[in-house]
Amino acid sequence: MTGPSTSRPSAASVRDPAFPTRRAIIGGAAVAGVVWALTYRPTPDPRWTRLMDKAPWSPRDGAALLVHNGSLWVLGGSAPNQILDIGDGWTSVNGVDWRKEVDRAAWTPSGQSMSVSFAGRMWRMGGFVENESRLLPIGEIWSSVDGRSWTLATAAPTWGPRGGGALVVHNGKLWLLGGTRHPRNEGDQPALSDVWSTENGVDWVEVAANAPWKPRAFHSVIVHNGRLWVIGGGRWGKTPKLYRDVWSSFDGVKWKEHSSEGAWPGRIWATAASYEGLLWIMGGFINTPRGGANDIWYSDDGSDWYPYLAAKPWPSRLAHSSIVFNDQLLVLAGSNGDYFNDVWALKIGRDEVFPGSSLTRAKKWLYKTFKT
């Protein structure tokens, strides 16, 4: 009678277990690392808050959004089936309670104009007007102290008629960058890459006739870390040119290209901001899918961009407006087939974003390594 076997496992079976092997463990860890990198969320992604679904001002795109004398101002914009400016003006101290300040401002009704608050006044410049079913550029400069009474400072500034450019305040001066002579970029080289500055809003100096970035309109220009930043933009027409490059300059003369092709799709009519130490670009017109977008990207250096993965951002749109006010990043209005008069806010605490931490740097390396 044979008893139970007392044989021991062979040496080979001890040395080479069937599963999991060391190679499998290492491989699994590598796969997990790749998955982690591809699903990496660089911030806690706080939700956007919808402050208003329907503000008392009418739906519009292309509205000017300013902070002037401590209040938010919404000025004009284009209504559905209306290219030229509405011409009204509204104020708010919190983005929720709005008061109409002017029903029809004195400026010439135009589309794609440029507005800013500078030297104690609000300024509105350039744009396109209708003339016998054609859109023609103007160079008018209007200003106002209170937003109700507007004065024509000049009808013929030295930078010439244009629309779709960008105005920004930097180093105590007002700067104008780019734009176009024709909204659909018809004719000979209508888009511009020039840079102008002024100390009083009227007397302009050409800082650069041809900056190294491509001529463009409908781009974003902001001031961040003491430098001018040009982000995206392009040309509108039957075949739009949509750029996704990023440039910066301290003086408007010498420019540094931070990214020739950002991680985000090229776009026009987007909006950008400097918020919580980061550069932001949001929404705009993109080619795929063609139309307005609601993707949000940020960067701490202008070179490496990361998607902001909010659970429920605002609906897709273009020609919307954004500004930093009361420690919040606000986005409002815009269009995408429909026109909007909503108001959205994002508030990020300083302890929620760590763009300089070693952990974030490691995540960035993995994100770039496995994403490409």
Over residues 199-254, the pLDDT tens digits come to 999 999 999 999 999 999 999 999 999 999 999 999 988 888 999 999 999 999 99
Q: Is 192 part of a structural domain of the chain?
A: yes
pLDDT at 15: 36
* Cα 230 off chain centre by: 10
What does the pLDDT look like over 331-359, one tens digit per residue? Answer: 999 999 999 999 999 998 765 554 444 44
Q: Is 239 part of a structural domain of the chain?
A: yes
CA distances from 176 to 66, 84, 184 (A): 16, 22, 20
- pLDDT more than 90, % of the chain: 71
Domain that holds residue 101: 44-352
Residue 127: pLDDT above 90?
yes
Q: Is 202 part of a structural domain of the chain?
A: yes
Residue 224 is classified by DSSP as E
Residue 142 near residue 154, CB atoms below 8 Å: no
> Which CATH number characterizes residue 235's domain?
2.120.10.80
The rounded mean pLDDT for the chain is 86
Q: Is 345 part of a structural domain of the chain?
A: yes
What does the pLDDT look like over 130-187, one tens digit per residue? Answer: 888 788 999 999 999 999 999 999 999 999 999 999 999 999 999 999 999 987 655 5
Tokens of 153: 């400072």
The owner of tokens 């402050």 is 51
pLDDT at 355: 47
Count of C-beta atoms within a 10 Å radius of residue 215 = 20
Q: Which residues pair with 136 in a beta bridge?
A: 129
What does the pLDDT look like over 70-82, one tens digit per residue? Answer: 999 999 999 998 8
Residue 189: pLDDT above 60?
no
Q: Is 366 part of a structural domain of the chain?
A: no
pLDDT at 8: 36
pTM: predicted TM-score of the whole model, two decimal places: 0.83
37 pLDDT band, cuts 50/70/90, is low
Domains held by the chain: number: 1
**Average pLDDT, stretch 291-308?**
93
9 pLDDT band, cuts 50/70/90, is very low
369 pLDDT band, cuts 50/70/90, is low
CA distances from 335 to 211, 237, 282, 294, 332 (A): 31, 18, 14, 11, 10
pLDDT at 364: 56
Residue 13: pLDDT above 80?
no
Residue 83 is classified by DSSP as -
Q: Is 357 part of a structural domain of the chain?
A: no
Count of C-beta atoms within a 10 Å radius of residue 364 = 17
Q: Which residues pair with 243 in a beta bridge?
A: none
Tokens of 110: 């135009």
